[in-house]
Amino acid sequence: MIKRTLLGSLLLAAALGAAAQQPIYQDPTQPLEKRVDDALSRMTTAEKIAVIHAQSKFCSAGVPRLGIPELWMTDGPHGIRPEVLWDEWDQAGWSNDSCTAFPALTCLAATWNPDMSTLYGRSIGEEARYRGKDVLLGPGVNIYRTPLGGRNFEYMGEDPYLSSRMVVPYIQGVQQNGVAACVKHFALNNQEAYRNQYNAQLDDRALYEIYLPAFHAAVTEGHAWAIMPAYNLYERQHLAENKRLLNDILRGEWKFDGVAISDWGAVHNTPRTVTQGVDMEFGTATDGLRAGAKNAYDSYYLAQPYLKLIQEGVFSTKELDEKVRRVLRLGFRTAMNYAKPMGSMNSPEHSAAARRIGDEGIVLLKNDGNLLPLNLENHPNILVVGENAIKMMTVGGGSSSLKARYEISPLEGLKQRIGTQGQVSYVRGYVGDVGGSYNGVHSGQDLSDSRTPEQLQAEAVEAATKADYVIFVGGLNKADHQDCEGTDRLSLALPYGQDKLISALAKANHHLVVVNISGNAVAMPWVKEVPAIMQGWYLGSETGHALADVLTGDVNPSGHLPFTFPQSLNDVGAHRLGEYPGRATELERMKQPGHQGDTLDVRYNEGIFVGYRFADKERITPLFPFGHGLSYTTFVFSRPTVSQSTMTADGSLTVRLTVTNTGQRTGEEVVQLYISDKKSALPRPIKELKGFRKVRLDPGKSQEVSFTIDRTALSYFDDQAHQWVAEPGDFEALVGASAADIRGKVKFALQ
């Protein structure tokens, strides 16, 4: 195979040699905007209309007359979706469209390591490029507002700063392959319940401080080439046709020059979309919008209805030209990028990347008595219990469902790792979701079991009494009302009677490890009964290997939570102060005949106090705090210092401390910097994350960690003045290992 760098050089050389005979738009040596202008000037109005809407499930038309190719989209953000038929969701039946399944983005965020984000983006971008895709529909960076959110597993947690730092390298990694990252879902997509109907109501402080920063970073730092508005509404306009977010903020304040691509079926109105909406419209219905049309895609809002309005003089081609200009810009960056690499698919490097990200993202929540790592010296009898130990998790959950080339289950991974060092046995324990199909992809598993819950529990308890270790692998799955697009969870509790089973196992064996597989926090009424608890996430193809790495101590756990685990829903601002999933009276109204399609107002009454900000404000002790993560070694932080006691308005200062590994193992610690404004004109959180570093240290070794901060780290958004404000006065820098584990503080002032 020709090396891709050589191939790119050959293609570029050929292009350069033919430049003299080519139109400007075909000449890669010409500036991008000049090429866009030239191509636009050669297109007819009908051709312009054709490129701004779908022509199949996942592609838009090109301009064959001009040699401008189609643009192909693919779902992500955890792997490349299998091929479907031209205008149906049924599988195309390819034998070579399986992929590497990477860990869910909650796991990536839990690494607290931007290097892992770069690795993730580059790897998944290589798979997209190899499959001929131009746009990867991901990553997702919506804020984790409630632990019931069905799509939280696709996002990066509750904190805007953490999400911002993790999304930028992901985008850069994807786009270095000539594949556009399409950041989603812009914005305020914080619940799946009534996702096409709910209208988010919140003040500008919450909008700018909590819900927009990750998108802002994606656009202004990551330079994302595409963005996808959400299904829901804001200011009573659907996000795909929302003037405030798309025109005023995205294209106005942030100067976004990429393409706004609709979510499938998210456009509702032609005139609004023309003047203030998306640039490209895609749809879900297999017959477009109007059954019986010769080409149903021509009936989309940005298709013939738009062309008809131009022909009638309602619109000029001004708005159309701007949309096409952005689509052409995307095409030159992707499909017509002659220097793009070839990419690769299912390579050993991608498997290694998936495993490494999983290793770094797994979070050790509790480890009383140093039960973990497993001691294999005496050939232990290890009992594995739970459906999630054998259930494939790459299939299902919505648009992120994958056709993985392989998936190592937790049970298989443990058996492979332990081998002859111990005996690994398995019992079911409970029955949950026995299926494994989504859009024609089948896991091949039939997990049906006719035994009663009582019989299953009795078998597990009896086996537990004879084991040296019991590893319970449970949690959620990707069925409806769990971690799944389109539905939210119905409760914080674990489903399928798992709580009762875990308590029974804890009584039967004191060497119990609970591995929770989920993309959301869950209630743990048994938390004091269980000595060791691990958050396992959805880890993709290398699930079993990554879990075995950490359980056995081959890898020291270094993941930290990207969101708070509350003790109850009443400890979450969206539930105590908000109206999730809406006000009770309005929810009741929407159940009445004739009102099912009404708009539902959802008031974000908690404002800026989301996650740990709310817990701090209300003095709530969470089950496990934001940023929490244990290790098999120990770390000591020195007292932090600042480079100067006073910072000028246009200057900066440096916070320094030393971290020492005082344990017996090499390990990584996440040093977290929070800033506290001691007095402000507007209410502010007690502290806010403004920096973090992941440090790897051998036993006995130390390293200095420094953070440079300027006024942006001290600012809040003044919604009356519509600007960021850093008030002069006293501040405090806090360093710690979680939002609740602050190891040191140092004061300073802003002039």
Same domain as 321, residue 357 = no
Same domain as 220, residue 125 = yes
Average pLDDT (646-672) is 97
Same domain as 525, residue 657 = no
Predicted confidence at residue 290, as pLDDT, reads: 55
Q: Is there a domain that residue 14 lies in?
A: no
Q: Is there a domain that residue 151 lies in?
A: yes
Q: Does the structure show a pLDDT above 60 at 40? A: yes
**H-state helical runs in 188-285:** 204-206, 213-220, 270-276
Same domain as 278, residue 129 = yes
Average pLDDT (200-228) is 98
Q: How confident is the model at residue 14 (pLDDT cuts 50, 70, 90)?
A: low
Average pLDDT (463-470) is 98
Same domain as 530, residue 420 = yes
Predicted confidence at residue 1, as pLDDT, reads: 35
Residue type at 521 in one-letter notation: A
Q: Does the structure show a pLDDT above 80 at 231? A: yes
Q: How confident is the model at residue 439 (pLDDT cuts 50, 70, 90)?
A: confident
Q: How confident is the model at residue 293 (pLDDT cuts 50, 70, 90)?
A: low
Q: Is there a domain that residue 62 lies in?
A: yes
Domain that holds residue 711: 635-750
Average pLDDT score, the chain: 95
Same domain as 298, residue 206 = yes
Active site residue 263: yes
pLDDT in tens, 608-649: 999 999 999 999 999 999 999 999 999 999 999 999 999 998
Domain stops at, among 495, 525, 552: 552
Q: How confident is the model at residue 286 (pLDDT cuts 50, 70, 90)?
A: low
CATH number of the domain encompassing residue 107: 3.20.20.300
For helices 114-130 and 348-361, give the axis angle rounded to 10 degrees: 150
Q: How confident is the model at residue 88 (pLDDT cuts 50, 70, 90)?
A: confident
Rounded Cα distance between 521 and 455, Å, is: 28
Average pLDDT (230-241) is 98
pLDDT in tens, 131-181: 999 999 999 999 999 999 999 999 999 999 999 999 999 999 999 999 999
Rounded Cα distance between 383 and 465, Å, is: 10
Distant-in-sequence, close-in-space partners of 6: CB < 8 Å, separation ≥ 6: none
Same domain as 238, residue 167 = yes
Between residues 591 and 19, the one the model is more confident about:
591
pLDDT in tens, 501-550: 999 999 999 999 999 999 999 999 999 999 999 999 999 999 999 999 99
Q: Is there a domain that residue 500 lies in?
A: yes
Same domain as 354, residue 329 = no
Average pLDDT (687-716) is 98
Q: How confident is the model at residue 6 (pLDDT cuts 50, 70, 90)?
A: very low
Same domain as 199, residue 170 = yes
Predicted confidence at residue 518, as pLDDT, reads: 98
Q: Which of 742, 629, 644 is nearest to 112 (CA)?
A: 629
Predicted confidence at residue 2, as pLDDT, reads: 36
Burial of 378 (0-12, 13-18, 19+ CB in 10 A): exposed
Same domain as 143, residue 113 = yes
Average pLDDT (235-243) is 98
CATH number of the domain encompassing residue 422: 3.40.50.1700
Predicted confidence at residue 4, as pLDDT, reads: 43
Q: Does the structure show a pLDDT above 50 at 3? A: no
Q: Residue 363, CB half-sphere, CA atoms under 13 Å: how many? A: 33
pLDDT in tens, 105-127: 999 999 999 999 999 999 999 99
Q: Is there a domain that residue 660 lies in?
A: yes
Q: Does the structure show a pLDDT above 70 at 263? A: yes
Q: Does the structure show a pLDDT above 50 at 85? A: yes
Residue type at 667 in one-letter notation: G
Rounded Cα distance between 348 and 213, Å, is: 35
**Structurally, how many domains does the chain consist of?**
4
Token output for 667: 């390990």
Instruction: Pick the catalytic residue from 27, 75, 159, 263.
Output: 263
Local structure of 635: helix, strand or coil: strand
First to last CA, the chain: 61
pLDDT over 70 percentage in the chain:
96
Q: Is there a domain that residue 716 lies in?
A: yes
Predicted confidence at residue 132, as pLDDT, reads: 97
Q: Give bridge partners of residue 260 from the DSSP assignment.
A: 227
Rounded Cα distance between 150 and 190, Å, is: 9
Q: Is there a domain that residue 338 lies in?
A: no
pLDDT in tens, 399-412: 999 999 999 999 99
CATH number of the domain encompassing residue 681: 2.60.40.10
Predicted confidence at residue 351, as pLDDT, reads: 98
Q: Give bridge partners of residue 229 from the DSSP assignment.
A: 186
Q: Is there a domain that residue 113 lies in?
A: yes
Average pLDDT (379-391) is 98
Q: What is the 3-state secondary structure (H, E, C) of 557-599?
A: CCCCCCCCECCCHHHCHHHHCCCCCCCHHHHHHHCCCCCCCCC
Same domain as 696, residue 665 = yes
Local structure of 17: helix, strand or coil: helix
